[in-house]
Amino acid sequence: MARERTFVMVKPDGVQRGLVGEVVGRLERRGLKIVAMKMLWIDRDLAERHYQEHTGKPFFEPLISYITSGPVVAMVVEGDSAIKVVRSMLGKTDPKEASPGTIRGDFALFTGRNVVHGSDSPESAKREISLFFDEGEIFDYRRIDEEWLYED
């Protein structure tokens, strides 16, 4: 069993549209465990560190302006193959290509307002988690339903 942790963020448009509960509910109903969560308003410095791989690209400034425009909800999510599972649940980055039933496919129309972010690799998950959470903010606990979710 490859239990791992990943980073998920409900972006400003998702918060403003009241979709935080929907996103969290979908993750939990799937069997994933929220081990850290907080609401924050990202400042420019954190935004630039988070999106550092896009520095210099034409969409960088609009992306930074958008992600700092309102509060977000940041989470650390844990589960079997969590990165792959979460990415599948989020849908393609461009919501026009995202399948119905995915978060982006159900709630977004534009890439620049696609409701959620999720880490795309173990390396980015580790980096993004460390940007948003201190070790003491991440909880290690066992959910009562884990014995019914996981095969040994």
**Is 54 a catalytic site residue?**
no
| Contact assessment for residue 20 and residue 10, using Cβ atoms and an 8 Å cutoff | yes
Active-site pick, 4, 117, 119, 132 = 117
Catalytic residues: 117
